[in-house]
Structure 1
């Protein structure tokens, strides 16, 4: 089931002075773990043995300072320095997944979304095509190998049917901001933290530039595509089998402006989305 959680929870009474932006995360809360995660090309009868790819999204929503939107917020002050004085690195978004609950995730790719058409559309399309051309030899090679082993048929252009991970990669490229367009250079990196409350968490951090807030509108969105795999501690007595426990994905975001950091919900507080991974039947 696709579910979501956010801060503030109740947006009908959103206080934009106290919370300049809202932050939410959403995705599948009962994903299937892959029982053939370590197999690069599983046997044909095990291709769908839980090896599915899931996308988890985040949204950073804000009123911004665009004059064409002022009629929507008649009560807003005439000056909102947080949006008029963003730093070059304007925001960071974090999603964390647990690693000690009998399962963990394997990241495939991350994205930042845009709605077409957008300013600089021609340049973005050219960049996106160039990125796909770099991937095409990999996709074709995977298709050839998979076809030779009888894993999947090669249908039409060699394409992402070759492997679920490559299919997910191709899908997420559509509508994603190329990371090397001038002024929109965003990046993603792997991050880790640990706490007494949540244990060890591993995840992804997006770094977003100022122009995204100026030209992509008042709702920035991004995602990470992942697969779920069983992960049990090795014991001297041998494997004890999968022990999949519910645990939350944690997320928060920070905006940098006027030399200050504004977090949602907080630098040490998180939006939580509870996941209950399951074995494929």
Structure 2
């Protein structure tokens, strides 16, 4: 089931004319994802393992964030003249101590066509396509040739990444967005995640609703105790966990960024949280 959380909790209360907090933030995705039990295994060709389900595609899930603001804010030249470059940071974190972990596969930022810079983008997309297509083709060919039980999972990943690129913003001039892996300590323990960095031109020109996403696969994570390998028959304990998200708009005349949700203490940062309960296939 796809569920959504936001700041403010009820978007009907969003104060779009506020000078202090003119933005809203949403996070949504599947709240009962399937766990891939054998995703971390790499088997040599011909090895038979009864636990590997070679005919099933790898379950991959996309978790998306949305940051929005009003048309009036979009037209406010004075405000945008004080927005730093890069303008926006978005963070999404996953827990690591709930009996499962995620493997990040692909990050995106989204757009709809046609855009203002459509012609320039198409030229750049054409260049990227020529650079990437042969490599993807070679990989796909190799996947089909290797008699490896995991080939269906690799093919699933490649197929998912290809679909995600359809509306992904290309890194053209002024739109050089990037991502990096991050980690932090929270009330839920250690969290691992992704940070998006968005340039000012991109933040402004793509309209007043910007969307990004991270595609992940879930894998079980048993904590080893007393230097002993876990028993194969040990029951998985897949506990409910929280995905955290926050955004920061960087302003030249403010000591701190405009935080969504707002941060009231420098040492404590607030987040919106999406509860998820990963499950194994019955």
Conserved 8 A contact 1:50-1:279 = no
Gaps of 5+ in 2: 264-268
Match of 2:144 in 1: 147
- The CA deviation at 1:252 is 0.3
Q: Distance in 1 between matches of 2:9 and 2:253?
A: 27
Q: How does 1:115-264 map to 2 (within 5 A)?
A: 115-149=112-146, 163-179=155-171, 181-195=172-186, 197-235=187-225, 236=228, 238-239=230-231, 240-260=234-254, 261-264=257-260
Please say which of residues 22-31 and 233-242 is displaced more in the overlay: 233-242
Please say which of residues 13-22 and 219-228 is displaced more in the overlay: 13-22
Q: Give TM-score scaled by structure 2 length.
A: 0.84
1:190-224 C-alpha deviation (Å, 9 max, x unpaired): 000012x1100000000011112321100011011
Conserved 8 A contact 1:128-1:173 = no
1:79-122 C-alpha deviation (Å, 9 max, x unpaired): 68544421111110000000111111101111111110001112
Match of 1:103 among 87, 100, 107: 100
The SS at the match of 1:23 is strand
Distance 1:80 1:146, change over 3 A: closer
Q: Distance in 2 between matches of 1:82 and 1:242?
A: 51
- The CA deviation at 1:259 is 2.9
The SS at the match of 1:191 is strand
Please say which of residues 266-275 and 221-230 is displaced more in the overlay: 266-275
Match of 2:280 in 1: 279
Q: Distance in 1 between matches of 2:2 and 2:56?
A: 21
Conserved 8 A contact 1:24-1:59 = yes
- The CA deviation at 1:63 is 1.4
1:32-87 C-alpha deviation (Å, 9 max, x unpaired): 111111235798972455721111100000115344xxxxxxxxxxx685444211
Q: Give TM-score scaled by structure 1 length.
A: 0.84
Q: Distance in 2 between matches of 1:96 and 1:148?
A: 37
- 1:54 equivalent to 2:61? Answer yes
Q: Distance in 2 between matches of 1:80 and 1:136?
A: 41
- 1:25 equivalent to 2:27? Answer yes
Match of 2:266 in 1: none
Match of 1:13 in 2: 13
